[in-house]
């Protein structure tokens, strides 16, 4: 087996639609479409292990909670499980008044009758039926010409109208899908749908849903948009029909096709959460909804706890959501690389509540969909100082001064290179402890006494070194200068800063000091203590010990 050198021997390009005055390219989507979830039908029919009743009920309740108002709950004539589930929904009173269930059937009288049986007693329901209309299906599946295929659709419409009239207690709505619409001659799709309209006689108050599936995605999404705009211009009684989209993802452009289809005038979208469904799946309703949201349009679906929704969907479908899946994947709000982390950290610092969202690299505020910021920045060997500083700030309230960020990021990078793994905030803090806060050798500060008089400070420190206690004394204009004067090495202070960690009685002080020892490269030290003077002394000892150790290592 091999790929063909000339694939045109086997595959042909999709013909373009003749619509030179198309208007959709300059349209924008300004309101949410009517959403229909086909997870319980389209998704379920394509699972290795179809959902059982308990899973279907759990999924149904999640859809209701999210705010989906039209839910295709199954294909009741196909299996007893689906039939019984529809009955359970109706008899158990599980369908809220503002939610309409929809069921699917082939355009066959026996299956339609069984479908109506399943819906007995429903307050409202959409009966959705379909037959394929594309040339290859006409020839291969039905062995019918165009007129024969129109007849299949019309005959079923008549049966549906008749059975609905016999059960007036239900508020019936009808949906027809010319299956494989996108591969059907658009004029013929219009012709079939107009014939169906003739039977149902829809009005602006009682609209017919015409669902136009890209059953198998076969062209670029602009072609689908042309087909939708063309259909909308030519269909009879446009004000009495709802044009519905149903895109699959065979070419990976299901979302794009639905978005362009909406720009081309469609009113409704069918799809599944996170894109489950036949083969490569149906269009992903979550992505579509959140794409709207990030354009400032209310999607009328609530994904403010997107991970909870994902959990239900994954458990019911027994399929994982990909880590790179838009909006919800584990890694999509995560930045590993240094320049991204730097920009995100600056963006968070500058972003103000109530203002337009502008944090670089994040198209959505993760908090809006129940994600927290901690997951946003993760550190591996590609990370820079920004991400490390962000994690220490967020998790431990530690704000490293800029030059120390650079120095510490080199320490972290050595460690991530050594480990070949990501480092968590906890591991980074441990490294900070090991490298700075526990830099007690060769000199461990055991205690100090400070006297201050007339702007002069005198410091006595007790130091443990190689098992022996030493006493140093220094005098200076402030405590730090006094301590530096008492050190047994020539130390130049390059920079000093401090800040509080936490607030109130449990607040601590963090002190950062940068020193240069005898003409060596500057190095930092860190000290944390309840007492700010003690914190600064600890920071100086931390820097001194690190500098002495580096000098020894160089000399060795």
Ligand X SMILES: CC(C)C(=O)C(=O)O
Ligand Y SMILES: CC(=O)SCCNC(=O)CCNC(=O)[C@H](O)C(C)(C)COP(=O)(O)OP(=O)(O)OC[C@H]1O[C@@H](n2cnc3c(N)ncnc32)[C@H](O)[C@@H]1OP(=O)(O)O
Q: Is 337 exposed, middle or buried, given 0-12, 13-18 or 19+ CB atoms closer than 10 A?
A: middle
Residue 45 interacts, among ligand X, Mg ion, ligand Y, none and using kind-specific CB cut-offs from 5 to 8 Å, with ligand Y
User: Is 234 annotated in some ligand binding site?
Assistant: no
User: Is 42 annotated in some ligand binding site?
Assistant: yes
Residue 46: CB minimum distance to ligand Y, A: 8
Stretch that binds ligand X, among 26-34, 210-218, 302-310, 312-320 (CB under 6 A): 210-218
Parallel, antiparallel, or unpaired: how do β-strands 491-501 and 508-517 relate? antiparallel
Which one among 77, 177, 253, 409 touches ligand X, defined by CB under 6 A? 177
Alpha-carbon span 163 to 298, nearest angstrom: 38
Residue 229 interacts, among ligand Y, Mg ion, ligand X, none and using kind-specific CB cut-offs from 5 to 8 Å, with none
State the residue for tokens 């299901």: 254
Q: Closest Cα partner for 132 from 241, 17, 249, 212?
A: 212
Which one among 105, 186, 215, 334 touches ligand X, defined by CB under 6 A? 215
- DSSP secondary structure code for residue 329 in this structure: S
Give the largest Cα separation in the chain, rounded.
Answer: 108
User: What six digits make up the tokens of 492?
Assistant: 């130049």
User: Which residue number, 37 or 383, has a Cβ lying nearer to ligand X?
Assistant: 37
Task: Write out the binding residues for Mg ion, residues 305-344 only, by CB under 5 A.
Answer: none
Q: Is 278 exposed, middle or buried, given 0-12, 13-18 or 19+ CB atoms closer than 10 A?
A: middle
| Residues making contact with ligand Y (CB under 6 A) | 45, 75, 77-78, 106-108, 111, 130-131, 141-142, 152, 179, 215, 278
Alpha-carbon span 332 to 307, nearest angstrom: 13
Residue 211 interacts, among Mg ion, ligand Y, ligand X, none and using kind-specific CB cut-offs from 5 to 8 Å, with ligand X
User: Is 194 annotated in some ligand binding site?
Assistant: no
Which one among 213, 326, 384, 386 touches ligand X, defined by CB under 6 A? 213
**How does 199-213 read in b/e, with b if 16+ C-beta sit within 10 Å?**
bbebeeeebbbbbbb
Q: Is 39 in the site for ligand X (CB under 6 A)?
A: no
Residue 130: CB minimum distance to ligand Y, A: 5
The CA angle 208-71-96, to the nearest 5 degrees, is: 105
User: Which residue number, 60 or 130, has a Cβ lying nearer to ligand X?
Assistant: 130
Q: Which residue is nearest to Mg ion (CB)?
A: 42
User: Which residue number, 281 or 387, has a Cβ lying nearer to ligand X?
Assistant: 281
Alpha-carbon span 217 to 199, nearest angstrom: 30
- Rg of the chain (C-alpha set): 34
Alpha-carbon span 224 to 269, nearest angstrom: 14
Residue 152 interacts, among Mg ion, ligand Y, ligand X, none and using kind-specific CB cut-offs from 5 to 8 Å, with ligand Y
User: Which residue number, 130 or 200, has a Cβ lying nearer to ligand X?
Assistant: 130
User: Which residue number, 271 or 326, has a Cβ lying nearer to Mg ion?
Assistant: 271
Q: Would you list which residues are annotated within the binding site for Mg(2+)?
A: 42, 246, 248, 282
Q: Give residues in contact with ligand X (CB under 6 A).
A: 42, 104, 130, 177, 179, 211, 213, 215, 246, 248
In the complex, the residues that contact Mg ion under the rule CB under 5 A are: 42
């Amino acid at each position: 087996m091999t790929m063909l050198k000339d694939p045109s021997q086997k595959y042909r390009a999709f013909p373009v639609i003749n619509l030179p005055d198309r208007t959709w390219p300059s349209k924008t989507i300004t309101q949410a479409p009517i959403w229909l979830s086909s997870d319980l039908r389209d998704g379920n029919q394509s699972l290795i292990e179809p959902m059982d009743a308990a899973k279907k009920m759990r999924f149904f309740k999640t859809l209701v909670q999210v705010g989906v108002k039209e839910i295709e709950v199954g294909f009741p004539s196909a299996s007893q499980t689906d039939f019984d589930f529809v009955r359970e929904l109706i008899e158990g009173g599980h369908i809220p008044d503002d939610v309409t269930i929809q069921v699917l059937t082939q355009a066959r009288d026996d299956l339609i009758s069984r479908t109506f049986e399943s819906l007995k007693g429903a307050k409202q329901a959409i009966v959705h039926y379909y037959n394929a209309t594309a040339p290859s299906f006409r020839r291969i599946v039905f062995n019918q010409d165009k007129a024969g295929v129109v007849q299949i659709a019309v005959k079923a419409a008549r049966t549906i109208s008749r059975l609905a009239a016999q059960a007036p207690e239900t508020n019936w709505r009808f949906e027809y899908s010319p299956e494989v619409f996108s591969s059907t001659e658009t004029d013929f799709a219009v012709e079939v749908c107009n014939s169906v309209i003739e039977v149902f006689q829809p009005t602006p108050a009682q609209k017919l849903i015409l669902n136009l599936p890209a059953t198998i995605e076969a062209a670029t999404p602009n072609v689908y948009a042309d087909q939708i705009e063309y259909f909308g211009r030519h269909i009879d009684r446009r004000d009495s029909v709802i044009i519905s989209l149903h895109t699959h993802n065979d070419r990976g452009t299901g979302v794009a096709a639905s978005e362009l289809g909406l720009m081309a005038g469609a009113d409704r979208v069918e799809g599944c959460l996170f894109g489950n469904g036949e083969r490569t799946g149906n269009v992903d309703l979550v992505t579509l909804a959140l794409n709207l949201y990030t354009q400032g349009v209310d999607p009328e679906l609530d994904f403010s706890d997107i991970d909870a929704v994902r959990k239900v969907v994954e458990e019911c479908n027994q399929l994982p959501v990909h880590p790179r899946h838009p909006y919800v994947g584990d890694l999509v709000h995560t930045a590993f690389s240094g320049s991204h982390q730097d920009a995100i950290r600056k963006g968070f610092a500058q972003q103000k509540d109530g203002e337009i969202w502008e944090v670089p690299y994040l198209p959505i505020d993760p908090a809006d969909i129940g994600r927290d910021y901690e997951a946003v920045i993760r550190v591996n060997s590609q990370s820079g100082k920004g991400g490390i500083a962000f994690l220490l700030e967020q998790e431990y309230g530690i704000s490293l001064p800029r030059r120390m960020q650079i120095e510490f990021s080199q320490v972290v990078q050595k460690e991530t290179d050594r480990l070949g793994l990501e480092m968590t905030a906890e591991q980074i803090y441990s490294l900070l402890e090991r490298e700075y806060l526990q830099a007690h050798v060769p000199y461990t500060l055991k205690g100090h006494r400070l006297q201050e008089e007339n702007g002069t400070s005198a410091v006595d420190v007790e130091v443990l070194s190689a098992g022996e206690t030493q006493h140093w004394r220094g005098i200076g204009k402030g405590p730090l200068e006094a301590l530096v004067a008492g050190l047994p090495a020539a130390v130049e202070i390059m920079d000093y800063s401090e800040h509080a960690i936490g607030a109130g009685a449990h607040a601590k002080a963090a002190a950062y000091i940068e020193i240069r020892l005898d003409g060596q490269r500057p190095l930092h030290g860190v000290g944390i203590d309840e007492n700010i003077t003690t914190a600064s002394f600890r920071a100086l000892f931390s820097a001194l010990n690190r500098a002495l150790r580096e000098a020894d290592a160089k000399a060795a």
